[in-house]
Every structure is written in structure tokens, then in C-alpha cells.
Amino acid sequence: MLEIFEIAAKAVADPTRIRILKLLQSGELCVCQLTTVLGLAPATVSKHLSVLKGAGLVQSRRDGKWVYYRLADKDFSPYARRFLDLMAASLDDDRTILADNALMLQVNAVPLQILCDQGRAALSEIPSQAATPCCGTSP
């Protein structure tokens, strides 16, 4: 059991992974949304998501070639729920988390395919196309 606890603890010991967990509190997101908010490469975000998934903190679902992530709603680890509850109750007044949430509002206003194609550059103009699925990056 100590090894399982250690895996979950190490997963939440990284600031980027904490930011990802806080972003996923608002619901399911694809890699392009996370990369845009975090300002990181898709491969880097996928690596972080892989660690979180391995710790039982997030789940993914595939929709065609796209992969979407959400907070785990099943107990894959006996400690996952406790860590997720701690994340939910923490850091809501942190400057980085507040900035991430504000940027996420802008990200949500951009159709996903355009966001996947353009990244942060897509935030400078709000396109009029309908949202489509994006980001087939999977850990």
C-alpha cells in the first residue's frame, strides 16, 4: 500500500500536474486545451497526463482519433479520491490557478479544431466556425 500511496503522492508533487488537476475540475478537456493554457508542448502535457493516469487521478476516453481527459470518477487507487479532494479544496486563491482559469475561459471561446491548429495564437481572434473535436495526443 505504501507504494501505491507514493505513486499518487509523487503525481501531485509536481506544479504542472497540480495545474492540470485544477483545470480538469471544470470538466473534460483535450490535450490542445491543456497545452494552450499551460503553454507547454503536447508531448510534455501528455507525459504529465500519463503520470496522473498511472496514479489513478485522471481517466481518458477516445473519440475517434481524439483523446479527452477528466478527473477519475472510479477508484483506480485507494488514495486517488483523497488527493483529488485535497486538490478540490486547495489553491483556489493561488495566482497561477486564477490565471489558468481566466485563460481557460478564453480557450473555451475558440473552436477546438482552430485551437489545436493554432495554439495560443488562436486566442487573439475568435473564429466563427463551429467547435470540432481536437488533439489526438495520448500518453
pLDDT at res. 125: 67
User: pLDDT tens digits for the chain (139 residues)?
Assistant: 888 899 999 999 999 999 999 999 999 999 999 999 999 999 999 999 999 999 999 999 998 767 899 999 877 788 899 999 999 999 999 999 999 999 999 999 998 888 888 888 888 865 444 444 455 444 4
pTM higher than 0.85, yes or no? yes
| pLDDT, tens digit (0-9, with 9 covering 90-100), for 58-95 | 999 998 767 899 999 877 788 899 999 999 999 999 99
User: Which three three-digit cell numbers place residue 92?
Assistant: 483556489
Fold assignment, 2-124? Arc Repressor Mutant, subunit A (1.10.10)
Distance CA 80, CA 51 (A): 13
Per-domain residue ranges of the chain? 2-124
